[in-house]
Structure 1
Amino acid sequence: MARMTGGEAIVEGLIRHGIDTVFGLPGAQVYGLFDAFARASNRLRLITTRHEQSCAYMALGYAKSTGRPGAYAVVPGPGMLNTTAALATAAGVNAPVLCLTGQVPSAFLGRGRGHLHELPDQLATMRGLVKWADRIEHPSQAPLLVARAFQEMRSGRPGPVALEMPWDQFPAMGEATPVDPLPLFQPATPDGEVVARLAALLKDAKAPMIIAGGGAAHAGAEVLALAELAGAPVVAFRNGRGVVGDRHPLGLTVAAGHVLWPQTDLVIGIGSRMEYPATRWAPGPPGLKTARIDIDPAEMRRYPVDVGIVADAAAGAAALTAALRRLLNGAARDNAARLAAVAAAKAGALEAIRKVQPQMSYLNVLRAVLPDDAFIVDEVCQAGFTATFGFPIHHPRHFVSSGFQGTLGAGFPMALGVKVAHPDTPVVSLTGDGGFLFAGTELATAVQHGINLITVVFNNNAYGNVMRDQKRLYAGRIPGSVLRNPDFQAFAASFGVPSWRVTAPEGFEAALTAALAAAAPCLIEVQTDIDQEASPWEFLVPGRA
């Protein structure tokens, strides 16, 4: 037991749980916490931003690209509220993110006196967004509650958590006993009887398909072993990309998966919400059998299936592979016809998506120039949508997305967090002009902290998707979707950021090559015309223009 301030007790807990970086923006209520960060600067890096939203998005990018917890710290009230879109996004993509925030002084808790940044019930607000939240009311509570936060964040289905502390308790002294990481609550070993039932279905299936989601990001080897034994393509969308890489014959995007869908007789979701089978491709083929492997029991009622295995993705896939191998008695399945169909679907999809121009031409250049291990962070923009099925990904966690939240403006700050986590690996933010300006001032953060991110801004002077829908659905009326943009070259120059403006893929290749060689944050503006951009949506939602 040692005497320390509340801020010091929190910081010691963070370090004990493996946190090496905190993203934050200081203010009066959290001065004591930030002073503790400063005194631990030899063990913990603090990245400060220009807006609270970016603290949380950067922690999210850090967490999503590593699988490790990301942490951020902001003032309470408006500061915390500025991060709620990122918390909702973290919940949506199952990312382990810790929000640290302050509170009014202890004597003012619950009194409604209008103290600085007071909310009626901040803790309740946070609990409505995150997996778990609590208040540290004294330094002595900090070690255990920090440990509980990490336990809740990482047990079962990962997700964001939050801790608040009253203003006066950050600098207050108290006795604090360090607490080591607590055991995680995980599902038991996969139910052997249920696994056997699914193995029997898989043995008899002629055209099985696996849908891999972000929950399988750590289970690539196990999913691939199952896929190869069963002759099942592994289809991924957004955060499941790279679980089985696109270079592998069984690694498919949703564009190729949809070609195979009408013949599919068994679909198995692994760590996936099953968005495509449940909604975008529904109804399924006649006689389709459905199954899931998911760590979250609630998923089995959200999308009921014929066979549901509650298990970690890696453990469940390994158990299913072993059960199928036993049923086959060591014999190899004859998967030749299925593999030929998969190859044809993959080649056909690659040919079909070529018409999504100019996005595909730019993405092809991007893939040709970048190394295999580069990270791509998408945004709600035409190039971002197209990248979900048109940009090959070779490793899990290397395509970072806001998932079903579709959080406009998240891409650029998330990418900064990815780059902080992977300083020696190329990271590219694919963003539109509208989304980029949500947090474009964080170019200052990139320069200040040496975050050498490559940002590609596709500038069509519009909220392109909104404009396309408005024209299609509302007789050409386009309220609010036309944008008056700054000169992005001058904007970048004002922060001392090297930049390039291109209007064709040939120029893009030269700019990207130069940006990769620059030891600095860089911006590439790609000027496009929304009226000349092909819609990617027929490959995302079949039947939609």
Structure 2
Amino acid sequence: ATYILPGLIEASESSYAVLALTSDVSVAATGKYPLTEVDQEALMRPLTKWNAVVRRGDHVPRMVRAAFRAMTTGRPGAAHLGLPFDVLNEPVDPSDIWADPTTGAFPAYPQAPAPGAAEAAVDAILSAKKPLIVAGGGVVIAGAEAELARLATRLDIPVATSISGQGALAEVDPQAVGVVGSNGGTPETWEMMTSADMVVFMGVRAGSTTTARWEAPAAATRIVHFDVDPMVPGANYQTEVAVVGDLRLALAQVNAVLDARDQGAASFGGAAAVAELKRRKFAAFEARAASDATPIRPERIIRDLRETLPADATIVSDPGTSCPYLSAYYPLPIAGRRFLTNRAHGGLGWSLSGALGAWVGRPESKVVAIMGDGSFGFTVGELETVTRLGAPITFIVLANQEFGWIKASQKEGYGARYHNVDITATQHADIAAAYGLKTWRVEDPSALKQSLTAALETNGPSLVEIVTQPLEEAEVPVSRWMG
């Protein structure tokens, strides 16, 4: 049971429905010091939205139904069901074995906002001079991408996102600003946040990363907040209008209000402002991406990935070295969940295992997992599973011989007094080859694109190890390393 804890807290904090089923010591042996005994209910309680250990076999059906109901309704989250060994052998009444098919997907039973909330939000937005929408993961979870795109286009409002909100709007759309905040944001995108006279948060909690520890919006900025969780609006900012409900239903109501008013000709000038922002942002990026320096610059890796990956690829990133570069400089061409990363708690090693889940869920898409060498060491054993299943995933290891995020934090916050952040040079490609993957090791930038192309075309699992510039020496799109 203890091995599953990081996955549960990540799911709960990221608002994803995940059910953990764990075995437990028998009820008859409880308190007699049996091997592996632990109070699972207490252990799982702070990590889950719903949690129980079943004490009787005839309780199993209704407890399973309760778990699904809890984790798929409202703000989705993780659920846990502990099953003692002796309970698993007890009989169950067949007539009680049934399920509610609605809770087989999430969000289940979506709730619309209160009457008048959408109208109040529209009135507030139209009264602003320079509004900015900041979309979070709640937009994607609710399937509200089309409604958001229609709203942004008809009013020409710029739309920024949190990292989890990437895919709320295709990042090549004229109104798409990109990621804002201390991780994956850039000075250019931050200008949009600081200059807005109104910020419209949609399915985002306005936490420390998106707001750079609440540096922006400023306290005087007008706030409209859409969220499924009534605890979120007003938690960090005084909110002029709160719209509580499912994001898809809420934005559909907003568009319906605008339809009734025949509203759609007015423009906030978002596309023009975004075009100028992106011109400056990517000019600086391209200058660094053209470098032939070694170790290979992260920008060069992102540029070559942009030129080799198919538009419908699914990118799975660890939260460290790769995440800010992908969030800042890899514009997702298709709306929806195409970029996956565990930014809620940031456990290392997530992408190697997470990519396997992404492939199972979307086998028609090319899945690429990107991680640092420190992260690779956490879950390298999963390569056996990948090989056994023949999963055609391409893994990319950014090898800089360090726990880069922590080292960069120690440079910025502790005067470069480094402690336990450097790791031994390892031949990651050789390790992966021993598991049965086809591998490449790249040190020369001129060989990078060719190696990536060959790996992506491999009919089976592949890995490319790239000797990469240390993070603390790079121009990383991160304005605050910790907190």
| Secondary structure, aligned partner of 1:428 | strand
Change in CA separation of 1:286 and 1:83 when aligned onto 2, cut-off 3 Å: closer
Q: CA deviation at 1:354?
A: 3.9
Residue matched to 2:194: 262
Q: What letter corresponds to residue 208 of structure 1 in structure 2?
A: P
Q: Distance in 2 between matches of 1:126 and 1:166?
A: 15
Q: What letter corresponds to residue 236 of structure 1 in structure 2?
A: T
Q: Tell me which of 276, 294, 298 is aligned to 2:227.
A: 294
Q: Distance in 1 between matches of 2:360 and 2:47?
A: 26
Q: Distance in 1 between matches of 2:267 and 2:312?
A: 34
Q: What letter corresponds to residue 243 of structure 2 in structure 1?
A: I
Residue matched to 2:340: 400
Q: Distance in 1 between matches of 2:337 and 2:270?
A: 28
Q: What letter corresponds to residue 145 of structure 1 in structure 2?
A: M
Q: CA deviation at 1:475?
A: 4.0
Q: Distance in 2 between matches of 1:288 and 1:531?
A: 34
Residue matched to 2:447: 507
Does the aligned pair in 1 maintain the 2:58–2:90 contact within 8 Å?
Answer: no
Q: What letter corresponds to residue 190 of structure 2 in structure 1?
A: H
Residue matched to 1:432: 372
Q: Provide TM-score, normalisation by structure 2.
A: 0.89
Q: Distance in 2 between matches of 1:203 and 1:136?
A: 53
Change in CA separation of 1:497 and 1:194 when aligned onto 2, cut-off 3 Å: same
Residue matched to 2:160: 235
- The equivalences for 1:487-506 within 5 A come to 487-506=427-446
Q: What letter corresponds to residue 24 of structure 2 in structure 1?
A: Q
Q: Distance in 2 between matches of 1:267 and 1:325?
A: 22
Residue matched to 1:271: 203
Q: Distance in 2 between matches of 1:279 and 1:299?
A: 18
Residue matched to 2:293: none
| Secondary structure, aligned partner of 2:265 | coil
Does the aligned pair in 2 maintain the 1:270–1:292 contact within 8 Å?
Answer: yes
Q: What letter corresponds to residue 104 of structure 1 in structure 2?
A: V
- The equivalences for 1:285-364 within 5 A come to 287-304=220-237, 305-327=239-261, 329-330=262-263, 332-335=265-268, 337-354=269-286, 358-364=297-303
Instruction: After superposing the two structures, state which structure 1 stretch, 298-307 or 265-274, moved more.
Output: 298-307
Q: What letter corresponds to residue 197 of structure 1 in structure 2?
A: A
Asked if residue 107 in structure 1 is aligned to residue 25 in structure 2, the reply is: no
Does the aligned pair in 2 maintain the 1:454–1:515 contact within 8 Å?
Answer: yes
Q: Distance in 2 between matches of 1:136 and 1:287?
A: 51
Residue matched to 2:124: 201
Q: Provide TM-score, normalisation by structure 1.
A: 0.79
- Between Structure 1 and Structure 2, how many residues are aligned? 458
Change in CA separation of 1:456 and 1:533 when aligned onto 2, cut-off 3 Å: farther
- The equivalences for 1:163-182 within 5 A come to 163-176=81-94, 177-181=96-100
Asked if residue 250 in structure 1 is aligned to residue 175 in structure 2, the reply is: yes
Q: CA deviation at 1:280?
A: 4.2
| Secondary structure, aligned partner of 1:408 | coil
Residue matched to 1:216: 139
Q: Distance in 1 between matches of 2:251 and 2:317?
A: 28
Residue matched to 2:63: 145
Change in CA separation of 1:269 and 1:492 when aligned onto 2, cut-off 3 Å: same
Q: CA deviation at 1:234?
A: 1.4
Q: CA deviation at 1:284?
A: 2.7
Does the aligned pair in 2 maintain the 1:280–1:541 contact within 8 Å?
Answer: no
Residue matched to 1:37: none
Does the aligned pair in 1 maintain the 2:162–2:210 contact within 8 Å?
Answer: no
Does the aligned pair in 2 maintain the 1:264–1:285 contact within 8 Å?
Answer: no
Q: What letter corresponds to residue 463 of structure 2 in structure 1?
A: L
Q: CA deviation at 1:471?
A: 3.2
Q: What letter corresponds to residue 165 of structure 1 in structure 2?
A: L
Residue matched to 2:36: 117
Q: What letter corresponds to residue 406 of structure 1 in structure 2?
A: G
Instruction: After superposing the two structures, state which structure 1 stretch, 205-214 or 342-351, moved more.
Output: 342-351
1:393-421 per-residue CA deviation (whole Å, 9 max, x = no partner) reads: 12311110112312222121111211122
Does the aligned pair in 2 maintain the 1:261–1:285 contact within 8 Å?
Answer: no
| Secondary structure, aligned partner of 1:153 | helix
| Secondary structure, aligned partner of 2:368 | strand
Does the aligned pair in 2 maintain the 1:412–1:436 contact within 8 Å?
Answer: yes
1:170-214 per-residue CA deviation (whole Å, 9 max, x = no partner) reads: 233332322221766756432232222221111122211111111
Q: CA deviation at 1:277?
A: 6.0
Residue matched to 2:479: 541
Asked if residue 378 in structure 1 is aligned to residue 317 in structure 2, the reply is: yes
Q: Distance in 2 between matches of 1:208 and 1:531?
A: 35
Q: Distance in 2 between matches of 1:188 and 1:365?
A: 43
1:84-132 per-residue CA deviation (whole Å, 9 max, x = no partner) reads: 11111111211111100011112123x2x2112101x211211221000
Asked if residue 523 in structure 1 is aligned to residue 463 in structure 2, the reply is: yes
Change in CA separation of 1:183 and 1:452 when aligned onto 2, cut-off 3 Å: closer
1:461-503 per-residue CA deviation (whole Å, 9 max, x = no partner) reads: 1111222232344343322011014321221121111100012
Q: Distance in 1 between matches of 2:63 and 2:242?
A: 34
Q: Distance in 2 between matches of 1:86 and 1:362?
A: 29
Does the aligned pair in 1 maintain the 2:374–2:403 contact within 8 Å?
Answer: yes
| Secondary structure, aligned partner of 1:500 | strand
Identity %: 28
Change in CA separation of 1:163 and 1:466 when aligned onto 2, cut-off 3 Å: same
Does the aligned pair in 2 maintain the 1:239–1:397 contact within 8 Å?
Answer: no
Q: Distance in 2 between matches of 1:476 and 1:127?
A: 39
Change in CA separation of 1:306 and 1:353 when aligned onto 2, cut-off 3 Å: farther
| Secondary structure, aligned partner of 1:403 | coil
Does the aligned pair in 2 maintain the 1:187–1:310 contact within 8 Å?
Answer: no
Does the aligned pair in 1 maintain the 2:155–2:265 contact within 8 Å?
Answer: no
Structure holding more helix per residue? 1
Does the aligned pair in 1 maintain the 2:315–2:338 contact within 8 Å?
Answer: yes
Instruction: After superposing the two structures, state which structure 1 stretch, 140-149 or 465-474, moved more.
Output: 465-474
Does the aligned pair in 2 maintain the 1:265–1:285 contact within 8 Å?
Answer: no
| Secondary structure, aligned partner of 1:128 | helix
1:410-463 per-residue CA deviation (whole Å, 9 max, x = no partner) reads: 121111211122223111111000011100111111011222211100000111
| Secondary structure, aligned partner of 1:318 | helix
Q: What letter corresponds to residue 174 of structure 1 in structure 2?
A: V
Does the aligned pair in 2 maintain the 1:380–1:435 contact within 8 Å?
Answer: no
Q: Tell me which of 377, 383, 390 is aligned to 1:450.
A: 390
Residue matched to 2:114: 191
Measured on the aligned residues, the alpha-carbon RMSD in Å equals 2.3
| Secondary structure, aligned partner of 1:82 | helix
